[in-house]
């Protein structure tokens, strides 16, 4: 059966033990080496939830990286840092590719007890282990409302993750991987098959909507924070597997939290870009020059289908730093606003009236900055994912 799961027999390293250590060393000694400073800074950013999903204790305890450490990390491409943990489960995909992922339970055999599936998309660091743990936190917080939920957390690896971890032992390892974080934008994988990460989500939706496996499934929720939020917003625009769910009686919902940028729906921008900025309306910032996955789709058709989507946008009210280390500061992103908070509000101000008809709403999360755990375990997130929890009225638009 397509999409069958197998278990990787290799031992999986324990979760980053060094994170707690580095969380208290984000201002490194002036005698530390450049490599040690950069490593410490990177680990500190992960610990405070820069783009990953840390546990709440680490998120509240860790100070931000010092200015020297942050500037060094900024100069080191994140693709040079392999993941510490590769998810243990495997999903079979076309072309002989295997995708690593985490699952909260079996999905190879019929599950008449499952009524909801939550797919969590990791951030830039590809730390699916952290994201899966946060999905478990949210499920626990939902209480009885979370009964009958299957958690699915795919891991979109980078070339470097396999080059450094697997190549020496198994050069032909068929794990799906991308180059330089291109999974976020829906670009083709670098190997072993040219699949988009959007193709992967399509395959997951097809599996979850199979009535032989999940006869009682009623809702699928796609959740993403930061880079994961970018992915979710763009999949909501181009995803081919979404509309097919209705014929199986399954509704789909999207949770987009603190993305660094959006795929804008028209050619206007809140901040006039420089005439020299050639990427303002190109995909991933706009709807020109779509990736192969979206080839042949017109702007009008994309916007019409997007307006029908059920999407909750969450913005951390303290995610306002225009110089945050991992914020996209390209000219195309800057044309959307100075910070993640501003860009989200600008996007909804431009399109909210049109999007409200599709049950789309935007909510500010008070007192929270760029922290994945706190952005997805709160009343508004629980309301979006589990239809429980207290959520203030929408900041603008509908719902």
Instruction: Please tell me the predicted confidence (pLDDT) of residue 78.
Output: 54
Where in the chain do CATH 3.40.50.1820 domains reside? 83-397
Q: At what angle do helices 340-355 and 299-307 cross, to 10 degrees?
A: 90
Model confidence pLDDT, tens digit, residues 104-138: 999 999 999 999 999 999 999 999 999 999 999 99
Q: Quick one: which H or E segment has residue 129?
A: helix 128-142
Question: Who has greater pLDDT, 16 or 300?
Answer: 300
- The per-residue pLDDT for 36 is 38
Query: How would residue 170 be classed by pLDDT, with cut points 50, 70 and 90?
Result: low
- Mean predicted lDDT score pLDDT of the chain: 82
| DSSP for residue 11 | P
Give DSSP secondary structure letters for 336-385: T-SSHHHHHHHHHHHHHHHHGGGT-EEEEETT--S-HHHHHSSHHHHHHH
Position 51 scores a pLDDT of 36
The answer, as to whether pTM is greater than 0.85, is no
Q: In the predicted model, is pLDDT for residue 234 greater than 90?
A: yes
Residue 337 reports pLDDT greater than 60? yes
Q: How far is Cα of residue 146 from the mean position of the Cα atoms in its chain? A: 21
pLDDT band at 80 (very low <50, low <70, confident <90, very high): low
Helix-, strand-, coil-residue percentages of the chain, each rounded to 5? 35, 15, 45
Mean pLDDT across the stretch 254-279? 96
Q: pLDDT tens, 372-385? A: 999 999 999 999 99
pLDDT at 77: 56
Q: Does the N-terminal peptide bond of residue 199 adopt cis geometry, omega within 30 degrees of 0?
A: no
Q: Which residue has the higher pLDDT, 263 or 398?
A: 263
User: Which of these ranges, 6-10, 193-197, 219-223, 306-310, has the smallest mean pLDDT?
Assistant: 6-10
What totals of helices (H) and strands (E) does the chain contain, helices first? 13, 12
pLDDT tier, 57 (very low <50, low <70, confident <90, very high otherwise): very low
pLDDT at position 4: 44
Q: Are 81 and 45 a contacting pair, CB within 8 Å?
A: no
Minimum mean pLDDT among 12-16, 268-272, 274-278: which range? 12-16
Measured between alpha carbons, how far is 83 from 224 in angstroms, rounded to an integer? 19
**What is the per-residue pLDDT for 129?**
97
d(CA 176, CA 193): 7
Per-residue pLDDT, 356: 76
- Let me know: does 362 contact 345? Beta carbons within 8 Å: yes
What is residue 392's predicted lDDT score, i.e. its pLDDT? 80
Give the CATH architecture of domain 83-397.
Answer: 3-Layer(aba) Sandwich (3.40)
pLDDT for the residue 395: 59
For residue 64, pLDDT beyond 60: no
């Amino acid at each position: 059966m397509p999409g069958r799961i197998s278990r990787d027999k290799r031992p999986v390293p324990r979760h980053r033990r060094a994170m707690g250590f580095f969380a208290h060393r984000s201002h490194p000694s002036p005698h530390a080496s450049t490599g040690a400073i950069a490593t410490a800074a990177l680990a500190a950013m992960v610990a405070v939830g820069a783009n990953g999903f840390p546990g709440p204790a680490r998120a509240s305890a860790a100070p931000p990286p010092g200015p020297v450490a942050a500037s060094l990390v900024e100069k080191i491409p994140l693709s040079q840092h392999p993941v510490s943990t590769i998810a243990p489960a495997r999903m079979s995909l076309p072309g002989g590719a295997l995708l690593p992922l985490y699952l909260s339970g079996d999905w190879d055999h019929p599950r008449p007890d499952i009524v909801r599936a939550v797919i969590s998309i990791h951030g830039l660091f590809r730390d699916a282990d952290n994201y899966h743990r946060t999905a478990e936190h949210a499920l626990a917080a939902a209480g009885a409302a979370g009964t009958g939920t299957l958690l699915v957390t795919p891991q979109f690896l980078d070339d470097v993750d396999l080059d450094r971890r697997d190549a020496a032992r198994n050069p032909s390892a068929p794990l799906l991987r991308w180059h330089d974080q291109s999974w976020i934008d829906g670009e083709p994988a670098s190997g072993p098959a040219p699949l988009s990460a959007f193709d992967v989500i399509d395959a997951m939706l097809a599996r979850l909507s199979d009535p032989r496996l999940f006869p009682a499934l009623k809702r699928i929720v796609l959740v993403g924070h930061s880079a994961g939020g970018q992915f979710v917003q763009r999949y909501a625009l181009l995803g081919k597997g979404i509309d097919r769910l209705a014929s199986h009686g399954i509704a789909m919902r999207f949770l987009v939290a603190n993305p660094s940028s959006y795929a804008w729906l028209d050619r206007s921008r809140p901040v006039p870009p420089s005439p020299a900025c050639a990427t303002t309306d190109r995909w991933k910032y706009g709807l020109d020059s779509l990736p192969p996955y979206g080839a042949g789709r017109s702007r009008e058709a994309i916007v019409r289908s997007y307006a029908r989507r059920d999407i909750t946008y969450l913005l951390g009210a303290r995610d306002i730093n225009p110089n945050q280390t991992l914020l996209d500061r390209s000219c195309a992103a800057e044309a959307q606003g100075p910070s993640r908070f501003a860009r989200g509000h600008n996007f909804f101000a431009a399109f909210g009236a049109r999007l409200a008809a599709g049950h789309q709403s935007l909510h500010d999360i008070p007192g929270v900055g760029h922290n994945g755990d706190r952005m997805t375990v709160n009343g508004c997130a629980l309301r979006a994912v589990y239809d429980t929890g207290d959520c203030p009225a929408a900041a603008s638009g509908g719902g």
